[in-house]
Structure 1
Amino acid sequence: MGACERAQLRWGETAVTEIVMSRAAAAVSVVPFTQHAEAVSGADWVWWWVDSTSAYGMLVQAKRLTMNQGRWRFDFGYPSGTGSQRANLRSTAASLDLIPVYALYLGTGEYRNWEPCPDDHRGRRCPSCAKRSISLMPALLADPAIVHDSATTYERSVALEDLWTPTPRRALLIPTLLEQMDPDLVSFLLSPQKGARAVAKSVIDRVLRVRAGQFSAVSPSASSMMDEGGHDQLGPVFPEVPSDAGHWGVPYFKHVLDPLRHVPPDYVLEIEALELDANDLASNMPDDVAGVVIVRLSQNG
């Protein structure tokens, strides 16, 4: 992105995604689907974050930042076929039991005019701003009417490089919600996490902070039951979660935490064991999925 900016060239989602994947492939497992090589800008990628005790699955779509007279804009509502990319991302993620997420390509600090980040901003050449060049935002929070400047973008997203970093920050919880939670879920939300659970906690933290700023009452205390996968150790880490929906009309605990599993799907294990038939996997994936990325994390952070 920096090279293009210096040459006064416009960088796009597809080119940046290919560069990121090529750099990451030395350290993580990347399986592209060749029949989707012609996929349009913003093609979806399945990302799995895996450690020795759990795994967290995402469906990720790239969105670049465009700026006009200081106003930030992401084309979340880009039309696609009979609907929008956003609607397709959500429906595809639901069919694969993944959380839909946007990879926001924010360009360099210069491109963003070094607008202050919330992480101990240091002005020009700020390291935290540099990390923000690729940030992840849950699709649930990608409201174009609200996300139109640096403050809302930073509030609702997390730098990719910080996603799995344990943080001592406690989740911002409405007291009524605490009364509805299983003790294990409370401990997860209020304690630093590592590995795949740190990734899931980074995502739910963002959602809970936005939820705390909404005025709607907390939904009744009935819990959402997640699919158990036939055995406790094959299903979600948290099988019972509050059914609160906030302003989104979606039970967001289930939406965000259902993809946090004790064990990843078989295709993830086969990729890691180099036993996968990529063509066979591609034939069983929706057409808008361009490939799979697996990141093996250390539980020690």
Structure 2
Amino acid sequence: MTNLDLHSSLVRGRQAVEAYINECRDQLGEYTWDEEHATVRLTHAAHPVARYIPFTRNQEGGTPTSSGTGADWLWWWLSPTGECFGMLVQAKNLKRVGGRWYVDLDYAKRRQIIDLLNASDILKVPAVYTLYCGDLAYRTDLTCGGGHTSDALDRCHRSAVCALPALIASQLAAFTALDSPGQAAIDAYQYALPLEDLADTSLGAPFVDDLNRHHIDGELLDFLTQPQGLPRDIAKKIFGMVSRMRSGQFALAVSEHQRVDEEAVVFGDLPTDRGHFGVPYFDHVLRGLRRQPPDYLVATADGEDPPPWLSGLVSGIVLFDAA
């Protein structure tokens, strides 16, 4: 497998989601679709680069009428060297409600997003939303921001499926009451990155000018400023979105660092800066970048049943070959 294989598989996945959304529109006469079905279409279309491992109802500990879990999935991007990047993923639809854009980030008074972040702490990976944003015709009055153009290479053409870090989503949800109606959904769409762009090496390696960059050296500084291979580049792009929001927060950078298990993770010495996120955002994202897959992932990929603690947190696992 090559980077091109992974990128092409994600493009196929996005196109399959667009086709599914158009089917729903044609059959129902309106734009309405199911998030879980969209995820299945995405991962099946990305095969064989993506391997989809759903947990059965019995594994989930559910009942005949309840699966026992939500729509959260554990995604791992795997390299042949063993280095990998994991993230806890929850799907959300970009909707029109009363003529305004809407993403239910504030669902159940933010309880859902708090639960997602808590689960990501247990799994020691970042929490990320996949936004299903409909096809381009659905978003004719919505743009990806100041750099938007009518060109076919514009980001909006690739944005039927986007990735949005949950730390960003949590901030947007917190300020929903202060913004004009629909602004949080517009901001979410503009902050998000097309999923396929995570693996598109033709876009170049982003230079992450984080507020804490001057308190960083060594391999971590190289990570922020130099080209990376996969899956590090995927981790870097997820981190870059969070760093971009951090740059607009009125809180000073910090010089303090924390050390974590350096045998397990790639970066074990990280700034403790929380910004307004409530948690150290370097650790939240980069704890998902590991030197080797965790034991439970190796066992589950080999066909063993997931441990109960894992099947109680997620509906399944998706493995992506990030060569």
TM range (shorter): 0.7 to 0.9
Aligned to 2:205: 168
The gaps in structure 1 that reach 5 residues or longer are none
The gaps in structure 2 that reach 5 residues or longer are 1-20, 177-181
1:43-122 equivalence runs, <5 A:
43-53=71-81, 54-68=83-97, 71-79=100-108, 84-113=111-140, 115-118=142-145, 121-122=148-149
Aligned to 1:26: 48
In structure 1, C-alpha distance between the alignment counterparts of 2:280 and 2:251, rounded to whole Å: 14
Give, as a single letter, the amino acid of the residue that structure 2 aligns with 1:281: P
RMSD of aligned residue pairs (Cα, Å): 2.6
Q: Equivalent pairs: percent with the same residue?
A: 33
Do residues 223 (structure 1) and 257 (structure 2) align? yes
Do residues 128 (structure 1) and 155 (structure 2) align? yes
In structure 1, C-alpha distance between the alignment counterparts of 2:149 and 2:307, rounded to whole Å: 45
TM-score (norm 2): 0.79
TM-score (norm 1): 0.85
Aligned to 1:190: 225
In structure 2, C-alpha distance between the alignment counterparts of 1:89 and 1:26, rounded to whole Å: 28
CA deviation after TM superposition for structure 1 residue 26, in Å: 3.5
Do residues 247 (structure 1) and 276 (structure 2) align? yes
1:140-219 equivalence runs, <5 A:
140-142=167-169, 143-144=172-173, 145=175, 148=183, 152-166=187-201, 167-174=204-211, 177-219=212-254
Summarize deviations over 1:95-139 as a string: whole Å, max 9, x none.
111111111111111111253335964438666323111101110
Q: Structure 1 25/42 Cα, relative in aligned 2: closer, same or farther at 3 Å?
A: farther
CA deviation after TM superposition for structure 1 residue 164, in Å: 2.2
In structure 2, C-alpha distance between the alignment counterparts of 1:23 and 1:168, rounded to whole Å: 27
Count of matched residue positions in the alignment of Structure 1 and Structure 2: 284
CA deviation after TM superposition for structure 1 residue 181, in Å: 1.2
In structure 1, C-alpha distance between the alignment counterparts of 2:167 and 2:148, rounded to whole Å: 27
Q: Secondary structure at the match of 2:90?
A: strand
Query: More helix per residue: 1 or 2?
Result: 2
Question: Would you say the 8 A contact 2:129–2:164 is kept in 1?
Answer: yes
Q: Structure 1 3/124 Cα, relative in aligned 2: closer, same or farther at 3 Å?
A: farther
CA deviation after TM superposition for structure 1 residue 12, in Å: 1.9
In structure 2, C-alpha distance between the alignment counterparts of 1:285 and 1:238, rounded to whole Å: 24
